[in-house]
Amino acid sequence: MPDFTDNLQPASPGGPEILAQERSQSNVPVQELAQHLFPSDGFLGRQQRILEVLEQHPLFSKARQLNLSRPERYQLGLARAKMLRRLADQHGWDAEEQSMSQYLCDDVSPYMVHYTMFPTTVREQGDEKQRAYWMPKIEAGEVVGCYAQTELGHGSNVRGLECQARWDPKTQEFELHSPTLTASKWWNGTMGRTANHAIVVAQLLVPKSTDSSEYANHGPHPFIVQIRDLKTHKQLDGIAVGDIGPKYGYAPMDNGYMLFNHFRIPHSAMLSNYSRVDPNTCTYSKPANPAVVYGSLTAVRASIIMHARLVMARAVTIAVRYTSVRRQFQDRDSNDKSAPELSVLDYPTVQIRILPLLATAFALHYTGAAMQTLYENTRAQIDKGDFSKLAVLHAQSSGLKSLCTELAANSIETCRRAMGGHGFGGGSGFIQLNNDYLSKPTVEGDNWMITQQTASYLIKRMSSAVARKGSPQDEVEQACREWLKNEHDSGVPPLSIFDSDEHLVQAFHMRSRDLTYRAYVEREVKKRSWNSLLIQLRKVSHAESQSILVTNFHNALKATNSRLSPSLKGHLQTVFRLFAYYTMDAEARDFVKANAVSDDDLDLLPEKIQELMAQIRPHAVNLVDSWMIPDYLLDSALGRSDGKVYEDLFNRAHRLNPLNDVTFNPYYKSDEIVMGQGSDELKKIMAKL
Amino acid sequence: MPDFTDNLKPASPSGPELLAQERRQSDVAVEELSHHLFLDNDFLGRQQRILRILEKDALFTKAKQLNLSRPERYQLGLARAKKLRRLADQHAWDAEDQSMSQYLCDDVSPYMVHYTMFPTTVREQGDDAQRAYWLPKIEAGEVVGCYAQTELGHGSNVRGLECEARWDPKTREFELHSPTLTASKWWNGTMGRTANHCVVVAQLLVPNSAGSTEYVSHGPHPFIVQIRDFKTHKPLDGIAVGDIGPKYGYAPMDNGYMLFDHFRIPHSAMLSNYSRVDPNTCTYSSPANPAVVYGSLTAVRAAIIMHARLVMARAVTIAVRYTSVRRQFSDRDSQSNAPELSVLDYPTVQIRILPLLATAFALHYTGAAMQKLYEGTRAEIDKGDFSKLAVLHAQSSGLKSLCTELAADSIETCRRAMGGHGFGGGSGFIQLNNDYLSKPTVEGDNWMITQQTASYLIRRMAAAVTSKGTPDDELERECRKWLNEEHDRNVSPLLIFDSDEQLVQAFHRRSRESTYRAYVEREVKKRSWNSLLIQLRKVSHAESQSILVTNFYNALQDSSLSTALRRHLQVLFRLFAFYTMDREARDFVKANAVSNEDLDQLPSTIQDLMAQTRPHAVNLVDSWKIPDFLLDSALGRSDGKVYEDLFNRAHRLNPLNDITFNPYYKSDEIIMGQGSDELRKIAAKL
């Protein structure tokens, strides 16, 4: 409906003008940097290709989806998931193209587990016959599967699961049973409404001998189980399964619960690539090497880091563009009363929240990439059953998952607040991003739990280094030995972090070694209890993870020496130093105590950080442009690449908001809610409570 | 529908057993402590009274509300707001009863601004005739009002507002006009769909003289304006007004936008208690004292702190109860058959939750002290003497910034400490978090307003350095004392572990030092203001932390506390102080307030204090008396039936489970047996 607002323009300078100015003032070559970040694996081409398909399809329009209820979001999510799968068939999309389509659609797909953990488990844990039977049905979408491990009462402690699979030698069946309410499967994605099959992880109970009534518990094992009828999609008798209800995010995903009431499944349901129960003798045989699953877990964690960096890049892209366009207050010290207002990104109090995160996105990128390369290089050994190199990689990956998802999750809220009031609105593009991503710190290994794995590994290596028997077992032990010999208690002067980037990196190494050594003394020498050290152990893990992030960032700039243009390399070095100094400043006392950095140098950090931010400020828009996050994915008025912030905010409010189609009755004495409709609406709403 | 799950129980020990054990093992006197916390205004009696009414009214059931869409939440919010107002009439609730009913209902009411900023502004800014005309209509709910200051393009910088009110001496009207899109009013609560009137803040433009075509801008002024028709509730011609759409939280609130197209309003629309335009001469007269509005702002900020402490207490109540009930892993150093530990027994869980429990108390004592101070200076303010208010106002900016930051962060910290279940709707955190996240950026952006505190502190320090005559206020006196006795002298670091006085003193010393360094940069080295902003925020936070620690310490000197309770509160005081100190330890060394060796001891001291607090944690949160109705949390239920409630919400209350879907990708059908109808309905909403 046309009205007088149609002709209004925002006050000048307009957003497009301002962003054009930002872009022209910087010599950061956006295309070169984008090619550097997304080199040869075709990411950008794929993104462009899939984007064109989705953007022209009304089902993938995001304009009003924040107005849908959670039940509607599941329905929309299912409709989109089906459509994406049909598009994949139609366009012949490969696995990477399919996951790109999900990334751009930005719904957590109700099919997610059907595409990931479900087939992966069948492939890795199923024997040849099971794979041959199930994989084609899964691929065809006749079998829609999920993965049910976590229960209402147990998550991190997998050994504590209560669901039982009891082998009955008489009927040659397993009986799945949930003896308590806490035994209910819980949180399992794709299970609540979508799947007709599930991998159920249950305690395997086998009679001690064929005719014994005593059972031995062999711990948690995976079983593949049909849970719903293939025609009616109703749950099978003896199963109670459903969706657990609304959550912070993941609206389109049907995280589920499931209980079994003496539910019987055949012998072939137990996935038997490694462990098996002989149906005749009741003999249980188990895997030779329990490290067998570390491989795919490490790969998953490398991809979690690569995902975290894109999440940060997305948050920072929006924040940098909006705070460049947004202006507020003239310079307080300026005498010119007609001076234009400053971009809020010109204020150091805005910079200190956004620019270190911009730097962190790069830090995560280089470490995620390094982890993937390392994993691929050790892949051959892993496939041969040699897990020696994997152990370090796995230990590192726990700490990195913890630190990187924490950094990414916090970055969203930090950027939101830096954007002031408009950050709270739907036009920020942060609501779904935040609500979905906030799951990461507590899933796939709780961030505060899994740092124990990293710390435990580091302490073991430090113990060996102190004992000093034979040659070092791995690189970490080698480094510990060198630190003990050359740096520990040896009265070396602190490093010159401002003179040399190598020294800066070295300072992070020294601080990590020092913290590991202190924890080693507490645990191994003073014999303190493990639980009393947990807070300290987390610091040990984070110190090592930070050291890895700084090292990989530094190495990446050295390694690409020949390929990066000198000007781009200069910019990335500034970004590197900002990340390193900012990280150091937040934990400064550690570095003094490790004798890595002098107190005087630490005093200078805030000023150095402010200088680096001032250097980066003019290039901030080009630096975020280089991440090439499409407007379609951003779905943000504030972060639009064309800078039309206010036009878009107004459009969403005035033209796209369904609430404005309704006129209400505001008078409290009347029960009527919608003007002229009597009390009908009230009754409808009441029925939903 | 009965099924086999009806008879299932959670694994033992059960939640009720565990909480009973927690409550037995503690000698914290819950009733005494809650009486100590809520001695004013019969808060607890009121809470109980209103609760009984709301709990039995079906409209206030929260069980399924997370499943409603945002448009439905507004409708529900409006229905509830009307009902609360009718209940107020029926039960003759006073203002405090009414705000208790809104607090317990936990909806941000679409009437909110109609009850607060709108009548406050009419009362304070309107002249006698305007008050007499408007207030009865407002009270009767015929006039439903909102307050429109913030615009699309300007929030913090009020002088930059673009909306204009131009006086036309010929027609004797003001013309309201929005010259640009960014001049649109934006964010203003109650405006989007609910209000029929509005206080509009606009740049007042008045002709130089009655016959002149040149206009002078006198800055932003408030006008009371009808915006919608009384009968049809449609916007009046020349006005475009609506709701801005979904936000993080505040779903039931219709934050709005509004633009004017040469919209004319009478002379009487300008609220004229202080400023006025003479309609005949075009003469503008302005207020004598611009500090006139600081009073209510300071009161609002004290209320913000008191609210922040209840938000923290609510988050911590849920987290403490759930992590007491939740068990995971047996002790790694013990035999394999040992029972699993409560997750609250892990120091990594304690370090996230227990310092926040202590912080809720810290906020409480400072909020209460601020309210008392404000009431104490009220008489002077009413007489036009604002001298004491200046300190109070400066402090209140920094405290608003720090306290709302602490409270907002506490929700997410507690949520993560609860692990996976924290992410679910049964946590009771979703709406709390989504609503509260607005606080760090509204009513003064948290990173902006610390400048006011720092600026004031630097001025007092500058005056203390000059040391002319007697000090202006207490703050200057303290600065002088610090300059004379502590600054640059070889005073020894304070003995923070030996004496709580010295612990408090350490915070003072660190704040003075931090102010002094900023003073040197700004006043001596003449550095630019903007280059110091990060440092100025630290100055403000250091002072606010010092105030929090001081008020907490002073409150414990209250002789009415029993010895046992005082001891528990002392542990919390130390936990708050040491935890705060540990996070900014280098500051305290640089201020020569605490020795490096003592700072090294902080982590183990904090861990000791947490171990002392741990057995009393459930009783300590119980003392805040947050009702289950408000918590709306399976995890935080006072009876400990965590798993039963989670399961009930999923299996019996989740509307999604009433529907069977078609999961096969080749079919367009979404709901089994319904063809492609549903898909079309959903697609129509996109």
What pLDDT, in 10s, does the model give residues B401-418?
A: 999 999 999 999 999 999
Do the chains contact at B157 and A11, CB–CB below 8 Å? no
The answer to whether residue A205 scores a pLDDT higher than 80 is: yes
What pLDDT score does B387 carry?
A: 73
Do the chains contact at B348 and A245, CB–CB below 8 Å? no
Residue A197 and residue A98: Cα distance in Å, rounded? Answer: 22
Do the chains contact at A245 and B162, CB–CB below 8 Å? no
Chain B neighbors of A188, CB-CB under 8 A: none
CA distances from B304 to B180, B239, B443, B661 (A): 34, 33, 10, 46
What pLDDT score does A337 carry?
A: 79
Q: Would you call the peptide bond into A13 cis, given omega within 30 degrees of 0 as the criterion?
A: yes
Q: What CATH code is carried by the domain that includes residue A237?
A: 2.40.110.10
Domain limit, last residue, from B252, B287, B322: B287
Do the chains contact at A349 and B534, CB–CB below 8 Å? yes
- Specify whether B393 is located in the same domain as B471: yes
For A64, the closest chain B residue by CA position comes to B686
Higher per-residue pLDDT: B385 or A336: A336
Residues 6+ apart with CB under 8 A from A37: A365, A626, A627
Decide if A320 is inside a domain. Answer: no
User: Is A444 assigned a catalytic role?
Assistant: yes
What pLDDT score does A576 carry?
A: 98
| β partners of residue B264 | B175
Chain A neighbors of B601, CB-CB under 8 A: none
For B:168-187, CB contacts with A below 8 A are 178, 180-184, 186-187
* Active-site annotation holder among A32, A124, A341, A444: A444
Decide if A492 is inside a domain. Answer: yes
What pLDDT score does A241 carry?
A: 98
One-letter identity of residue A218: H
Decide if B206 is inside a domain. Answer: yes
Residue A58 and residue B678: Cα distance in Å, rounded? Answer: 15
Average pLDDT over residues B279-288: 86
Average pLDDT over residues B434-459: 95
What pLDDT, in 10s, does the model give residues A623-678?
A: 999 999 999 999 999 999 999 999 999 999 999 999 999 999 999 999 999 999 99
The answer to whether residue B564 scores a pLDDT higher than 90 is: yes
Average pLDDT over residues A94-104: 96
Question: Nearest CA to CA, how far is B438 from chain A (Å)?
Answer: 6
Q: Testing the interface with A: which of B9, B181, B431 to mutate, by most A Cβ within 10 A?
A: B181
Decide if B468 is inside a domain. Answer: yes
Do the chains contact at A431 and B192, CB–CB below 8 Å? no
Mean confidence (pLDDT) of chain A: 94
Question: Nearest CA to CA, how far is A607 from chain B (Å)?
Answer: 10
Residue A332, both tokens: 């307080």
Do the chains contact at A610 and B66, CB–CB below 8 Å? no
- Specify whether B479 is located in the same domain as B525: yes
Decide if B513 is inside a domain. Answer: yes
Q: Is B662's Cβ below 8 Å from some Cβ in A?
A: yes
Which residue, chain included where needed, has tokens 């009783």? Answer: B619
Residue A324 and residue A327: Cα distance in Å, rounded? Answer: 8
Chain A neighbors of B678, CB-CB under 8 A: 75
What pLDDT score does B274 carry?
A: 87
For A:540-599, CB contacts with B below 8 A are 588-589, 593
- Specify whether B281 is located in the same domain as B307: no
- Phi first, then psi: what are they for A526, rounded to 5°? -85, -5
Domain limit, last residue, from A265, A287, A309: A287
CA distances from A405 to A107, A398, A400, A444, B671 (A): 19, 11, 8, 11, 36
What is the torsion angle, in degrees rounded to the nearest 10, for the CA atoms of residue A194, residue A200, residue A201 and residue A202? 140
| Domain tally, chain A | 2
One-letter identity of residue B15: G
8 A C-beta contact, residue A638 and residue A652: no
Average pLDDT over residues B612-637: 98
Decide if A504 is inside a domain. Answer: yes
Residue A214 and residue A207: Cα distance in Å, rounded? Answer: 6
What pLDDT score does B209 carry?
A: 85
8 A C-beta contact, residue A659 and residue B254: yes
Q: Is A492's Cβ below 8 Å from some Cβ in B?
A: no
What pLDDT score does A224 carry?
A: 98
Residue A415 and residue A313: Cα distance in Å, rounded? Answer: 11
For B685, the closest chain A residue by CA position comes to A64
- Specify whether B129 is located in the same domain as B220: yes
One-letter identity of residue B411: I
What pLDDT, in 10s, does the model give residues A594-603?
A: 999 999 999 9
Average pLDDT over residues B545-567: 94
What is the torsion angle, in degrees rounded to the nearest 10, for the CA atoms of residue A402, residue A405, residue A406 and residue A412? 180
- Specify whether B672 is located in the same domain as B537: no
Residue A255 and residue A188: Cα distance in Å, rounded? Answer: 5
Burial of residue B291 (number of CB atoms within 10 Å: 0-12, 13-18, 19+): middle
Chain B neighbors of A423, CB-CB under 8 A: 441
What pLDDT score does A562 carry?
A: 59
What pLDDT, in 10s, does the model give residues B90-133?
A: 999 999 999 999 999 999 999 999 999 999 999 989 999 999 99
Q: Which of A67, A242, A348 sits opposite B246 (nearest CB)?
A: A67
Q: Which of A78, A421, A439 sits opposite B661 (nearest CB)?
A: A78
Average pLDDT over residues B574-595: 97
| β partners of residue A239 | A260
The answer to whether residue B291 scores a pLDDT higher than 70 is: no
Do the chains contact at A421 and B232, CB–CB below 8 Å? no
Decide if B110 is inside a domain. Answer: no
Q: Is B633's Cβ below 8 Å from some Cβ in A?
A: no
Burial of residue A94 (number of CB atoms within 10 Å: 0-12, 13-18, 19+): exposed
Mean confidence (pLDDT) of chain B: 95
Do the chains contact at B656 and A193, CB–CB below 8 Å? yes
Residue B113 and residue B118: Cα distance in Å, rounded? Answer: 6
Q: Is A686's Cβ below 8 Å from some Cβ in B?
A: yes
Do the chains contact at A240 and B5, CB–CB below 8 Å? yes
Q: Is A539's Cβ below 8 Å from some Cβ in B?
A: no
Residue B436, both tokens: 């509260």
Do the chains contact at B233 and A64, CB–CB below 8 Å? no
Q: Is A604's Cβ below 8 Å from some Cβ in B?
A: no
What pLDDT, in 10s, does the model give residues A422-461?
A: 999 999 999 999 999 999 999 988 999 999 999 999 999 9
What pLDDT, in 10s, does the model give residues B145-192?
A: 999 999 999 998 989 999 999 999 999 999 999 999 999 999 999 999
Interface A–B counts its CB contacts (< 8 A) at 442
Question: Would you place residue B81 in the very low, low, confident or very high pLDDT band (cuts 50, 70, 90)?
Answer: very high
Average pLDDT over residues A466-486: 94
Burial of residue A534 (number of CB atoms within 10 Å: 0-12, 13-18, 19+): buried
Domain limit, last residue, from A625, A652, A681: A625
Residue A137 and residue B500: Cα distance in Å, rounded? Answer: 70
What pLDDT, in 10s, does the model give residues B210-259?
A: 888 899 999 999 999 999 999 999 999 999 999 999 999 999 999 999 99
Average pLDDT over residues A190-211: 96
Average pLDDT over residues B473-500: 94
Residue A646 and residue B260: Cα distance in Å, rounded? Answer: 17
- Specify whether B386 is located in the same domain as B474: yes
The answer to whether residue A390 scores a pLDDT higher than 90 is: no
What pLDDT score does B601 carry?
A: 97
What pLDDT score does B295 carry?
A: 61
Residue A290 and residue A292: Cα distance in Å, rounded? Answer: 5
Question: Nearest CA to CA, how far is A683 from chain B (Å)?
Answer: 10
Tell me the residue range of the domain where B306 lies: 11-61+63-105+293-653
Helix (H, G, I), strand (E, B) or coil at A277: strand
8 A C-beta contact, residue B237 and residue B165: no
- Specify whether B428 is located in the same domain as B547: yes
Chain A neighbors of B656, CB-CB under 8 A: 70-71, 74, 192-193, 242-243, 245, 254
Average pLDDT over residues B271-286: 92
Decide if B429 is inside a domain. Answer: yes
What pLDDT score does A107 carry?
A: 96
What pLDDT score does B298 carry?
A: 77
What pLDDT score does B464 carry?
A: 97
For A:497-516, CB contacts with B below 8 A are none
What pLDDT score does B119 carry?
A: 96
Q: What CATH code is carried by the domain that includes residue B319?
A: 1.20.140.10
What pLDDT score does A512 carry?
A: 98
* Displacement of CA A222 from its chain's centroid (Å): 25
For B179, the closest chain A residue by CA position comes to A8
One-letter identity of residue A86: R
| C-alpha closest to that of A454 among A298, A562, A639, A650 | A298
Residue A402 and residue B347: Cα distance in Å, rounded? Answer: 17
